[in-house]
Amino acid sequence: MDIYIITGASKGIGFALSKQLLRKNHHLICISRTKNEELEKIANQGDYPLYYIEQDLAQTDELSYLMERIWQVIPNNFETITLINNAGMIEPIGKVESLSSEAIANNIAVNLTAPMILTSMFINRLENKPIGKKIINISSGAGRHPYNGWSSYCAGKAGLDHFTRVVSNEQANKENEIKIISIAPGIIDTEMQEKIRSVKAEDFELVDKFIGYKENNQLQTADQTAKALIKLIQSPSFFQLPSVADLRNMEIEIE
C-alpha cells in the first residue's frame, strides 16, 4: 500500500494528480477548502481508497488538528508515503503598495507557512520509520525570477524553494532519509492562469504575454503535468534529484 497526501486536491494540478493516483493499492488523503465531488464519484465507482478532508490551509493554527486527522485514517501497513504540498494561490496581484495586509498574510500562509508546518509534522512523525518517504513541494518559476505585481507569490515560492534546500540538507545522510524536492511544473492551463489573464495591465504588466500563452496553445494541461509528476515521483531516480528542480528541464516520456 502506498499513501499519498495531497493538498489543493479540488482543482488544477492537485485534482489531476489525485484522479490519476486513484488505484486499489494507493490510499489517497486529499485536502482542499471544498470537496471535489467528481473525485469522490470516481473513487466510489472504482472502489478506490480515498479520504477527503475539507480544510482552509490559510488557517495555520488548525494544521496540527488536520495532521492528527490524517494519521487517524492512514492504515498500519504501508510501504511508502508521499506528501504533495500542492495548494497555492496567486492573489493578491498588484503593486506592493496597493496590497492589503490581510491579502499578503493569506498568500504567505497558503504558499509558504502551511507547507512548512505540514512538512515539519510529517518528518517528526515518520523520521525513524524505515520506509519510502517523499515530500514534493509544488513551486513555480516565479520563485526563481521576479515578476512585477506578484510580490507575495514570488516571495512565497522563493521561500518554499529555500526551505526545501535546508530540509534536504538536514535529511542528507540520515539512516532513514526523507527525500524532499521543490519542483516548478511550468505554465499550466488552470484556474490560476485564468485569474492572471483577467487582471489589468497596471497591476501585472505581463498580462498580454500570458494571454498569448493561452491563445497560442502554449500551456500544458493539468493532466499532462500530473502524468509527468507521477512518473517522476515513482521513478527509482527520484532520490537522486536535486532539492530544487524544474519539470520543464527534465526528459520525461509520457503516453
Catalytic residues: 153
Angle (CA) 42-189-208 rounded to 5° is 160
Q: Are residues 129 and 80 in contact, defined by beta-carbon separation less than 8 angstroms?
A: no
Q: Measuring CA to CA, how many Å separate 91 from each of 10, 100, 150? A: 18, 11, 8
Cβ–Cβ under 8 Å, residues 153 and 107: yes
Contacts (Cβ under 8 Å, ≥6 apart) of 252: 228, 231, 232
Strand order in the sheet with 50-54: 50-54, 26-32, 2-7, 80-85, 132-138, 179-184, 244-246
Per the CB < 8 A criterion, the answer to whether 32 and 10 are in contact is: yes
- 110: DSSP letter: I
18-43 CB burial, b ≥16 within 10 A, e <16 = bbebbeeebbbbbbbeeebeebeeeb
- Alpha carbon of 131 to those of 17, 28, 70, 178: distances in Å? 22, 17, 18, 9
